[in-house]
Structure 1
């Protein structure tokens, strides 16, 4: 049997947080435990929300750090790994994670409620697959010699079997990223090609079937751009683009052999893609064309942030932090403990918040300034 190395799952191994096989539903029903050590547990994503830094991580942990440095842990209704978050303003935000969970906050991250989970995703997938079979059976009966329809019907039968197996297995589809255009419309992406869309703030979700991904490669990152287009990046270096808000998608483009983990739009409009093996690509035309950027390290890259002065920070494997004044020339700084870094964000008083396997670390800007060219 051929073994397939899947970098998205390798990242979870790195954190020591692969999904548990036993009692997955319990984690969806059990609130996250409040603990004074939450800031030392693995953290996966962060965002500045007003004057607070909001961070998510393992065991349903959501941490808030205010401008004065006070840390507090939010009440969260699930006890499982959260992988990403996105706030559209100082009030409304969403977080996603294992077991297909989607959480929503309407108070800047102070409190959260569950909107959707893997159980609901399983039913959604089965309903969609059964509707596809019914539609294609009718079309195939009207055109029995159409080989394309026959092949599509075979794929739909497989999708039904797969969806039924997924329902029986329980909530087993990790979600890996989330992005909202406003307080109503947003997308989540995840393992095995999962992509969902909402137009009512997450009250209901629809499966997006128009993205061509027959191998069901993991979708790791989603980002909307100023021109209204939508980008989705993931396993195998694939990039998918929609110019009509996700209604239709261009054929997926393999930009690199390395899996891609993060999309970021800079203040000057450039878009960056980063990922496995030190992959970094830049686009100056809103994702239409891409150019690789050479780096002084081949460490896997997981997170990125641009500071107010325009300098860029990339966080990655082995405690790697790459620093650049312009997004083109980089130097490397490495954390002494070499623990994986998954994200970085600026703080007041010339400090940086760095998160990863060992939780939250605070660094002075002076540590990095000597690395700038």
Structure 2
């Protein structure tokens, strides 16, 4: 899921120039300097010698060569050339972060993976790693496709959300099939179990599939939802979250949390005293966690029936949430906010700040956090803003 679409679409477009970055380093976009003119070496004149029956040499034939053809124009923006390496991250010691603030040329929206395979949706391209996030290369999605979200159940079942379309891969991202959707939307999030697949997006769209995303049906059209950022489930319970349209018809959004227990046949609104929601997950201790756009995290210990505010990080928008294991939680947001708890949210630590990874002052945002069950954690989002917005991706082993 991605929270920054309301800022990026449809009135803003990210630059479409790929910068190859190695080891989290910076890049340069300036033109190459013009080559200095080269002067011809002087030619020495040798006086002719007199010989008998000397004949002047025949003039050398001048071979006319055709003029060089005009250079062909470059590919259109949607046909960017394939490059093997897009980004590389060092493999640091266990527990340390590698990467650099602003190490990619466009914001990183979402990261998902399984085992050694990972995908990253950025504002301009779609990236894939086959070595647990050490090196990343471009993936050729269908022409004009722009990845807004990525999620899967295994390396052989991955979905990518885009504008008005959903792509599905069953071969580790080698090929991508376009699925037919019944509603136009920016598709921001997915969730699935062994029977059902859900997709959510803008305009309150909720889609449900019973055949692994081959076909979709729309649900929850009467709920008054405005913009859904994601969907998550556990057992028979599935929740979708985001913004709702206020009943008085005003422009300002209200909180939206909807719940189903019957495979999406019915959806009900859940009462929660919070700002519009930006993320949801659950830990192994049975506790559910939700973050909102005003800087708070809320918890439920009764399968989402009631919610209580657990902690406030400050007056900023939170935008990324991940849970792992019994009690590990990661939270990210604006102002370079990245917090980590290993005790279910009782205490929090900013690991990137503690390891001096925020090396460049900038008003930036953490948009995605993904934690592999076996160890690696990835933090992605926006980078430095000068001379233009860039992206950031950190990795911890």
Q: 1:342 to 1:225 in 2, by over 3 A?
A: same
In 1, Cα distance between equivalents of 2:373 and 2:154:
19
Of residues 181, 189, 194, the one that matches 2:200 is 189
For 1:177, the equivalent position in structure 2 comes to 189
Q: Residue 271 of structure 1 contacts residue 284 of structure 1 at CA under 8 Å; is this kept in 2?
A: yes
2:82 matches 1:34: yes
For 2:122, the equivalent position in structure 1 comes to 57
Higher relative contact order (CA 8 A, sep 6+): 2
Of residues 240, 247, 252, the one that matches 2:265 is 247
In 2, Cα distance between equivalents of 1:342 and 1:287:
24
Q: 1:257 to 1:220 in 2, by over 3 A?
A: same
How much has 1:326 moved relative to structure 2? 1.5
- Give me the TM-score of the superposition, normalised by structure 1: 0.69
How much has 1:279 moved relative to structure 2? 2.6
2:137 matches 1:108: no
For 1:362, the equivalent position in structure 2 comes to 394
Q: Residue 353 of structure 1 contacts residue 360 of structure 1 at CA under 8 Å; is this kept in 2?
A: no
- The CA deviation string for residues 306-335 of structure 1, in whole angstroms up to 9 with x for no partner, is 355843211111211012122322244553
For 2:26, the equivalent position in structure 1 comes to none
In 2, Cα distance between equivalents of 1:297 and 1:193:
28
In 1, Cα distance between equivalents of 2:210 and 2:284:
27
- The CA deviation string for residues 74-96 of structure 1, in whole angstroms up to 9 with x for no partner, is 22114344222221123111111
Unaligned runs of at least 5 residues, structure 2:
14-76, 88-103, 244-253, 384-390
Of residues 12, 15, 19, the one that matches 2:5 is 12
2:208 matches 1:229: no
Give the number of equivalent residue pairs.
291
How much has 1:68 moved relative to structure 2? 7.2
**1:287 is paired with a residue of what secondary structure?**
coil
Q: 1:109 to 1:49 in 2, by over 3 A?
A: farther
Q: Residue 192 of structure 1 contacts residue 218 of structure 1 at CA under 8 Å; is this kept in 2?
A: yes
Tell which deviates more after alignment, 277-286 or 37-46: 37-46
In 1, Cα distance between equivalents of 2:80 and 2:265:
36
2:284 matches 1:267: yes
In 1, Cα distance between equivalents of 2:212 and 2:79:
23
Q: Residue 299 of structure 1 contacts residue 316 of structure 1 at CA under 8 Å; is this kept in 2?
A: yes
**1:237 is paired with a residue of what secondary structure?**
strand
User: Where does 1:262-301 land on structure 2 (aligned, <5 Å)?
Assistant: 262-301=279-318
For 2:366, the equivalent position in structure 1 comes to 341
How much has 1:254 moved relative to structure 2? 4.2
**2:124 is paired with a residue of what secondary structure?**
helix
In terms of Rg, which structure is larger? Answer: 2
Greater share of helix: 1
In 2, Cα distance between equivalents of 1:316 and 1:21:
20
How much has 1:222 moved relative to structure 2? 0.8
**1:272 is paired with a residue of what secondary structure?**
strand
For 1:203, the equivalent position in structure 2 comes to 214
Tell which deviates more after alignment, 75-84 or 29-38: 29-38
For 1:91, the equivalent position in structure 2 comes to 156
For 1:140, the equivalent position in structure 2 comes to none
Q: 1:313 to 1:213 in 2, by over 3 A?
A: same
Q: Aligned-pair RMSD on alpha carbons?
A: 3.0
How much has 1:275 moved relative to structure 2? 2.4
In 2, Cα distance between equivalents of 1:68 and 1:245:
34
